């Protein structure tokens, strides 16, 4: 089966391409690195020719309006249109748990645009929302050094490993389009400030962390339900402590920490 992974060079996309190849699928990693631009549409028709399934794990290069909204609108419209022309049987799109509750953030407003486009598409589709990735906890660390106090939200999070999300997406390739919204989350819940502090310590960053309910999460205020999944979510197997041990031992690659950082958990 031919499967096109849009954003196939990214954190989840690269893992997904590997998994699908191991399962025997004919996989195309569609990204600007491979000559495919979902925003302009360049190379899309060739990439999708003969494809059974398209999996969209693309991400915007900018997280500010209007650029982020323009990216997700144009990229999603182009993927859906190219999929319709190619007769694609299943369009799978990856989004984020809590998107509809985080509309104070430009990024999540843009993801809501993407979700609506997929939900209204004539191409058979499935929308998958994942919680924040373990790999992106480091991107929440604010810049600074010394004894600067770090204010972080104590809102509840239930993060998941990128490998587990890739595995779930790979499973859906063999399933019919559900025209539904599915969720996946990690097995454990944490307070965001505590989780990020663990990662800070792994970077030997010993700045004091204060739990501040008024601390913004990229334009939004969190509570204990904003970033947590519903009761029907698939619960992944990898625990954060196991993942962190793998990272500290050098067995897991984590994105480079840079500032300003993108939304945590966004692929």
Q: Establish if 263 belongs to a structural domain.
A: no
Encode pLDDT of 126-172 as tens digits: 999 999 999 888 788 888 777 889 999 999 999 999 999 999 999 99
The answer to the question of residue 266 being in a domain is: no
Kindly state whether residue 44 falls inside one of the protein's structural domains: yes
Q: Which domain holds residue 17?
A: 2-248
CATH of the domain at 191: 3.40.50.720
Q: In angstroms, rounded to a whole number, what is the distance separating the alpha carbons of residues 151 and 214?
A: 9
Is 49 inside a domain boundary?
Answer: yes
Amino acid 87: pLDDT: 98
pLDDT of residue 251: 53
- What residues have CB less than 8 Å from 50, skipping those under 6 apart? 2, 86
Query: Residue 137: what pLDDT?
Result: 84
Say how many C-beta atoms besides its own lie within 10 A of residue 192's C-beta: 24
Q: What is the pLDDT of residues 32-47, one digit of tens each?
A: 999 999 999 999 999 9
Q: Is residue 71 part of a domain?
A: yes
Instruction: Give the number of domains in the chain.
Output: 1
Q: Note whether residue 267 is domain-resident.
A: no
Residue 227, token pair as written in the block = 């970033």
Point out the residues of the chain with pLDDT beneath 70.
Answer: 250-267
Residue 55 lies in a domain: yes
**Rounded alpha-carbon distances, angstroms, from residue 224 to 155, 191, 228, 265:** 5, 8, 7, 17
Q: Report the distance separating Cα 17 and Cα 144, nearest Å.
A: 36
Torsion of the alpha carbons at 117, 123, 126 and 131, rounded to the nearest 10: -30
In a domain, 262, yes or no: no
């Amino acid at each position: 089966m031919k499967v096109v992974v849009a954003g196939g060079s990214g954190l989840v996309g690269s893992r997904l391409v590997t998994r699908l190849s191991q399962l025997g699928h004919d996989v195309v990693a569609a990204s600007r690195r491979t000559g495919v631009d979902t925003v302009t549409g360049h190379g899309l028709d060739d990439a999708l020719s003969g494809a059974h399934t398209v999996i969209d794990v693309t991400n915007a290069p900018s997280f500010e309006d209007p650029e982020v909204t323009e990216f997700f609108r144009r990229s999603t419209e182009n993927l859906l249109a190219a999929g319709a022309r190619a007769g694609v049987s299943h369009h799978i799109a990856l989004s984020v748990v809590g998107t509809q509750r985080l509309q104070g953030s430009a990024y999540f407003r843009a993801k809501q645009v993407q979700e609506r486009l997929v939900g209204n598409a004539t191409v058979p589709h499935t929308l998958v929302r994942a919680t924040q990735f373990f790999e992106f906890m480091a991107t929440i660390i604010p810049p600074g050094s010394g004894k600067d106090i770090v204010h972080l939200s104590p809102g509840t999070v239930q993060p998941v490993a990128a490998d587990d999300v890739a595995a779930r997406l790979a499973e859906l390739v063999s399933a019919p389009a559900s025209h539904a919204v599915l969720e996946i989350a990690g097995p454990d819940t944490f307070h965001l400030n505590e989780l990020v502090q663990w990662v800070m310590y792994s970077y030997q960053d010993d700045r004091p962390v204060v739990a501040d309910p008024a601390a913004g999460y990229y334009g939004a205020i969190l509570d204990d339900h904003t970033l947590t999944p519903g009761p029907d979510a698939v619960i992944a197997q990898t625990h954060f402590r196991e993942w962190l041990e793998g990272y500290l031992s050098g067995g897991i690659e984590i994105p480079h920490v840079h500032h300003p950082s993108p939304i945590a958990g966004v692929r």
